[in-house]
Structure 1
């Protein structure tokens, strides 16, 4: 008799505990949902959106996030990405680079927006002049993969000294010169692609993303090719030596004088040049003498 009553009481108690837990869980879920909803509708974001609608009425803003970079609001407009200050007055076109984590924040976001986006070269304005609005960089320095062939521009490498180049790959293959930055994710992707091809690569590092110290280490390494791939892989370069790096200075002077403000830049042996990463098939066609 007593055993039966005790078991019933225990079942009631356990049931009440489960009910209380369910109520607590519901409150937690509601709080999380409210927090998420609030985050999605931050007053400062909404304010910037209103300002942009007034100042850039022909630009269709998809999203504004003022919590990514301190002092700036990241603005997504379709596949385009740019930044404004929180007053919505100043517009910034370019890349944001986190020097602590050594991450290109703009490149990461562009890939989230459009996985087919291929970053390279300097920020280039789209054809917004006719709209009467400031030019917004299309994908901030991105060359979007296109099915249509494009005629490459040309550049003469005659002014470059032999020093400053890191030569790797198949020494009997066709030669391609690459202006690169060891902190550029698309230079790393290009390097990996070129490694799978039967080509001779003349790599000329330029410091676009604050990589000069790393370029010095690679250039002064006993085995430059090994050090180059280690640098792209983010591996620590040990036993760093010092050497004459004036050739790297020449690379950067050449890049500045020819307006090469972004990486990668790929130059064929005949001087034909394309900016930005290209997939293997397009690279093979370009290097072989076809269109990019």
Structure 2
């Protein structure tokens, strides 16, 4: 190859590389899509660490990548602030979950609220779940302590399970709270059908990492897997407002 042709080739290569690096969003998306065309990328943005980009997936989960998308890192990113290590990954993931959860209309939830709630929790629930039933028996105490309880449906055995059918009946009942009370106390719930959000809520739960019930999401988006006694849960929920 002549010197002229070599120089031209290098110029073209350098120009392409510069254009590639000048648009990290596009470069990262192209690289990741080559691995999985269906990867649900929601946003690509610079992280707090210089030179490292943050890729957020639908549901809030995220990982990190180089500007050209050739190097990937999954894990927690911490920042030292005033002698303390702050988990930036967890904070960002929680914010994304809170944004998605708090965008759900109250009309699509079964809500038990005090007159003047101080905070709220969102509970992915299955009526055929012992600890869900135990938690529900303490809803009056949570309300007394100022915590609004919002239920979303999560049939653990899938959308074709008997529990999924019962959840549909709860969401389609004329009195949803009474239907939920009956279901959680192992009483029969009148069968009902309607245009309901059970499947959508089940899909959302899977998207944000729910794999069991009850899964409790605080107002700030932090998820607490499993049952917590009412006094302890209320304390955690109220502190999440700080």
> TM-score, normalized by length of structure 2?
0.52
Determine whether 1:208 maps to 2:156: yes
Contact kept? 1:167, 1:203, Cα under 8 Å: yes
Larger radius of gyration: 1
* Count of paired positions: 139
Contact kept? 1:190, 1:277, Cα under 8 Å: yes
Residues of 1 paired with 2:115 and 2:154: CA distance? 23
Change (3 A) 1:171 1:261: farther
Contact kept? 2:98, 2:219, Cα under 8 Å: no
Stretches of structure 1 lacking an aligned partner (at least 5 in a row): 1-150
Structure 1 residue 290: deviation in Å? 5.9
Contact kept? 2:218, 2:240, Cα under 8 Å: no
Residues of 2 paired with 1:180 and 1:286: CA distance? 19
- For residues 213-224 of structure 1, what are the structure 2 equivalents within 5 Å? 213-224=165-176
The structure 1 residue matched to 2:189, chosen from 237, 240, 248, is 237
Match of 1:272 in 2: 222
Contact kept? 1:171, 1:200, Cα under 8 Å: no
Runs of 4+ deviating beyond 4 Å: none
- For residues 185-200 of structure 1, what are the structure 2 equivalents within 5 Å? 185-198=130-143, 199-200=147-148
Structure 1 residue 212: deviation in Å? 0.6
Q: Which has the higher helix share?
A: 2
Residues of 2 paired with 1:171 and 1:206: CA distance? 27
Two-structure CA RMSD over aligned residues (Å): 2.4
Determine whether 1:248 maps to 2:190: no
Stretches of structure 2 lacking an aligned partner (at least 5 in a row): 1-89
Deviations 1:211-270 (A, max 9, x none): 1100000000000001001001111113x332111x212111111112211011111112
Change (3 A) 1:179 1:194: same
Match of 2:100 in 1: 159
